[in-house]
Structure 1
């Protein structure tokens, strides 16, 4: 599949290393039902609320990384990325909340699922304890997968009718405006891979693959209505 944005060498290494994990999301029944418009609104509601919880930690990871880089441009980009995760995508969540019956308080009061909490901890702990390269590899799969997936679904469908129940979601992530975001993100990932030793690069690729696995697990948790054991 041709990428809608340039993929530098180390980013390509990461994607090839995690190829099976990355591609698994395309075939998940949640994604297929979402694209077809047949996804149960209750499942989508569950997903949206959990996604909002996840984005809080994505924002945290970006903010942590901003304290570790020394290039002012990279700091500003990461701060903007942290803000965008909460503001831009937050508008999508609350927009659906009006029709699906949830609001900011609902999101705040909802406990993250086991899969969601594990993914959040993976990103934040990597940003805190890992190298800068590992930190970028922890956050990159989420936007990369969503943007490629959104544009893939648009090509598959041709057009997204306004009466599609998930038109806002599909239109947001198929927007080519996100290509610029990914171009900058992957360029920074490449920048921090240069001069990095082999062991650190390998850890970074494993981190990338783990985030890809968590992306699949995120669809799965919504599809299966995952919850904590009764206590």
Structure 2
């Protein structure tokens, strides 16, 4: 069994619970709280800005032009393509996309970014890929499952653009490249290095679930007043 297949098997419960999360299921059912949608877009816009910085760090660790080209393409993909699912969510709630940009990251999203930055700064390419991989991989699986379960039942689904975006070949290609490269690196890694990869991947899976939870609860930082009353 490949290393990434092992990672997927070890984190099956998290992949399952991510798909079962009320926000994800709300996308499938075409029914979401507008405040939760706005909170998600605000957080995800800034999260993706930081995600591109992690790609930049990955470029600095790349030993081959193929890797440099891949990470450079992913920066372009986020800049020019991943705005489309955001715009679908904005259309659903009737708020211009530009009005949901420039907000502080909520605690969970802030934690997630710093987790990836830590591994990108302190670890090698294997750790960096392990921390990055759950994001595209879980979204790819979400899109495929939602498409099978919900789109076949509806000819006029409000989140069809969001769902089909994450089933396109581009998402499959991103996931497959990261998996293939991580498998190659794991073959040459020591047991301690592979353990660090496992931990990075597992924590990112946990934080993927927490990101959805952050959106549906509209999580924010405590105000001074809230702190003083506790």
Q: TM-score, normalised by structure 2?
A: 0.90
Q: How has the CA–CA distance of structure 1 residues 100 and 162 changed in structure 2, closer, same or farther, with 3 Å as cutoff?
A: farther
With the length of structure 1 as denominator, give the TM-score of the two structures: 0.89
Aligned to 1:101: 95
2:122 corresponds in structure 1 to 129
Which residue, out of 152, 164, 177, partners 1:184?
177
Cα 1:47–1:230 shift into 2, 3 Å = same
Is 1:216 paired with 2:209?
Answer: yes
Measure how far apart 1:158 and its partner are. Answer: 4.7
Residues 31-81 of structure 1 show CA distances to partners (whole Å, capped at 9, x for unaligned) of: 111110111222112112211111112111111011111111111101111
State the shift of 1:162 in Å. Answer: 5.4
1:104, 1:160 → 2: CA distance? 32
Q: Partners of 1:58 and 1:143 in 2: how far apart?
A: 11
Superposition deviation, residue 18 in structure 1: 2.0
**Range moving further from structure 2, 156-165 or 195-204:** 156-165
Structure 1 segment 77-88 matched on structure 2, within 5 A: 77-88=70-81
Correspondent of 1:65 among 58, 61, 74: 58
Q: Deviations over 1:119-143 (max 9, x none)?
A: 0111112111112101000000000
**In structure 1, how many angstroms separate the alpha carbons of the residues matched to 2:88 and 2:31?**
19
Please tell me the root mean square deviation across aligned C-alpha atoms, in Å.
1.8
Secondary structure of the equivalent of 2:82?
helix
